[in-house]
């Protein structure tokens, strides 16, 4: 059975979607939490969601922009000040960016998406792994995407960043395995979160529901995944139950990435 009793889990992008679902999941299993997001409102809502399932759970919230290394260092320092250690790190914060074919993709948008989705993940790894190496233990899960393991179209920045996350995951896992640290990634597909909902609005601003229904028909399951279905996998990878799972990229997409 998975347990996070006496464990400290740090989550970025904790104010919504996969971050919130994972926070609720690990809190219900005994974790103390450091919750990081750029949205104060989102963090407050996540704390309220945690209180409903685990009213005794200890948590701190840190408002931070993960693309700013100084703010990343600060959220790590705040976690250590509050709890003294970091046992699990869900390196999750990210954005989709605007959808356009490569020739029309805005260069500033490309830089913005990479700064959050790739540099933000790197900064998190850099500062958290230093702590875990000193502890000689820890579990990291990075959020990649099916867009990081195959082409999806119209998302140059997102695809480049998420492919980069896969590379960072494998590279760091090779470097830090000897220190009792596991580093894996999840590659969610069509999970119904605010990000995916916004993506459907980009596909069809006037009728996003129709776009959503058409989009999911190519999935073997014919349905969207749920945030808590991803959270269950993340919680496993963050736990000691996954102590020999390392350098893996786990697709959570209903099988769509394997469909010809």
Domains of the chain, by residue range, sit at: 8-189+225-251
Asked about 158 being catalytic, the answer comes back as yes
Among residues 158, 224, 244, 260, the one annotated as catalytic is 158
By CB atoms closer than 10 A (0-12, 13-18, 19+), residue 70 is: exposed
pLDDT of residue 247: 98
pLDDT of residue 203: 67
Residue 255 scores a pLDDT above 80:
yes
pLDDT of residue 163: 98
Convert the pLDDT of each residue in 44-84 to its tens digit.
999 999 999 999 999 999 999 999 999 999 999 999 999 99
Arithmetic mean of pLDDT over the chain: 94
CA distance 27 to 103: 45
Residue 198 scores a pLDDT above 90:
no
Domain 8-189+225-251 has what CATH class? alpha beta
Helices (H), 142-242: 156-176, 194-203, 208-216, 227-238
**High-pLDDT (> 90) share of the chain, %:** 84
**Confidence class for position 193, pLDDT limits 50, 70, 90:** confident
pLDDT of residue 248: 98
């Amino acid at each position: 059975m998975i347990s996070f009793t006496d464990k400290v889990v740090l989550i970025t992008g904790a104010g919504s979607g996969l971050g919130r679902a994972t926070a609720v999941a690990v809190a219900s299993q005994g974790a103390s939490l450091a919750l990081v997001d750029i949205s104060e409102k989102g963090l407050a809502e996540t704390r309220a969601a945690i209180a409903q399932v685990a009213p005794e759970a200890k948590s701190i919230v840190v408002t931070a922009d993960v693309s700013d290394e100084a703010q990343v260092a600060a959220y790590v320092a705040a976690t250590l000040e509050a709890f003294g250690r970091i046992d699990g790190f869900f390196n999750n914060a990210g954005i989709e960016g605007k959808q356009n074919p490569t020739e029309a993709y805005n260069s500033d948008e490309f830089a913005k998406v990479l700064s959050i989705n790739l540099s933000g993940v790197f900064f998190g790894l850099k500062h958290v792994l230093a702590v875990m190496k000193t502890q000689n233990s820890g579990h990291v899960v990075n959020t990649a995407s099916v867009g990081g393991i195959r082409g999806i179209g119209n998302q140059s920045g997102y695809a480049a960043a998420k492919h980069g996350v896969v590379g960072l995951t494998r590279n760091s896992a090779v470097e830090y395995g000897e220190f009792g640290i596991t580093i894996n990634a999840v590659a969610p597909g069509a999970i119904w979160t605010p990000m995916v909902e916004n993506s459907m609005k980009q596909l069809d601003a006037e009728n996003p529901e129709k776009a959503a229904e058409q989009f999911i028909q190519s999935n073997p399951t014919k349905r969207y995944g749920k945030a808590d279905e991803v959270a269950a996998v993340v919680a496993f990878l963050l736990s000691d139950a996954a102590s020999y799972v390392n350098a893996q990229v786990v697709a959570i997409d209903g099988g769509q990435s394997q469909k010809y």
